[in-house]
Amino acid sequence: MKISQKDVEHVARLARLTIAPEELSALTEQMDAVLGYVDKLNQLDTDGIEPMAHAVPMSNAFREDDIKPSIGIERALQNAPAAGDNCFTVPKVIE
C-alpha cells in the first residue's frame, strides 16, 4: 500500500474535506491505485534534469504601478453567502 486510511484522513483535514466513514476504504483504494501507477516515474533517472514549472519558458511579466478602478463594494459582496457592514461574515474565528 502506498497510502493508509490514516494518511487519507490527514490529507482530508489539510484539504478541508470530510470523508464519510463508509467512503474511506474505497477512496483509499482508488488513491492507492493512482499512487501505485504514478510510481512508474521512478523508473526514469531524472538526476540533473531541471524541473519544468511552465509550459512556455518565459520570464518577467509586469504591470506598472497605475491604479485601476475597483469593482465596488456591491459587486465584491454580490455572491457572499453572508455579509454585513460591507464585510463578508464568517463563523467566529477564535485566536
Partner 1 sequence: MTFQKLTIQEMRQKLISGQLTSVELTQGCLDRIKATDGQLNAFITVCEEEALAAAAEADQQLAAGNAALLTGIPVAVKDIFNTLDVRTTCASKILDNYVSPYDATTITKLRDQGAIIVGKLNMDEFAMGSSGENSAAGAVRNPWDTERVPGGSSSGSAAAVAAGQVVATLGTDTGGSVRQPASHCGVVGLKPTYGRVSRYGVVAFASSLDQVGPVAGNVEDCALMLGAVAGYDPADSTSVDCPVPDYLENLKAGVSGKKIGLPKEYFIDGLDPDIKKGIDAAIETYRQLGAEIVEVSLPHTDYSVACYYLIAMAEASSNLARYDGVRFGARQDSGDGLNGMYQQTRSAGFGDEVKRRIMLGTYALSSGYYDAYYLKAQKVRTLIRQDFQHVFEQVDMLLTPVAPTPAFKIGEMVNDPLQMYLSDIFTIPTNLAGTCAMSLPCGFSEDGLPVGLQLIGKPFAEAEMLQAAYAFEQATDWHKRAPEL
Partner 2 sequence: MNSRYEVVIGLEVHVQLTTKTKIFCGCSKEFGQFPNSQTCPVCLGLPGALPVLSRQVVDDAIRAGLATNCQISPHSIFARKNYFYPDLPKGYQISQFELPICEHGWLDIETQESGKKRLGITRIHMEEDAGKLLHNDGGNSSVDLNRACTPLLEVVSEPDMRSSDEAIAYLKQLHQIVVYLGICDGNLDEGSFRCDANVSIRPWGQEELGTRAELKNLNSFRFIKQAIEYEVERQIDVIDAGEKVVQETRLFDPDAGVSRSMRGKEEAHDYRYFPDPDLLPLQVSDQWVEEVRQQLPEMPTAKRQRYQGEFGLPEYDAGVISAERPLTEYFEALVKIYDQPKICANWVMGDILGALKDKNLSIAQCPITPELLGGILQRIGDNTISGKIAKTVFEDVWKSGKTADQVIEEKGLKQVTDSGAIESIVDEIIAANPDQVAEYRGGKDKLMGFFVGQVMKASKGKANPGMANQLLKKKLAE
Binding site for partner 1 (CB under 8 A): 3, 7-8, 11-12, 14-19, 27, 30-31, 33-35, 37-44, 46, 49-56, 58, 61, 63, 71, 75-76, 78-82, 88, 90-94
CA angle, 85 then 71 then 60, to 5°: 125
Q: Which residue is it, cell 464585510?
A: 87
Which residues within the stretch 55-84 sit at the binding site for partner 2 (CB under 8 A)? 58-68, 70-73, 76-77, 82, 84
What, of partner 1, partner 2, none, does residue 65 touch, CB below 5 to 8 Å by kind? partner 2
Round to the nearest angstrom and report the end-to-end CA distance of the chain.
39
The three three-digit cell numbers of residue 58, written as one number: 518565459
Nearer to partner 2, 40 or 54 (CB): 54
Q: How many CB atoms lie within 10 A of CB 71?
A: 9
Considering only 22, 47, 50, 95, the residue that binds partner 2 (CB under 8 A) is 95
Q: Which helix (H) or strand (E) holds 84?
A: strand 83-84
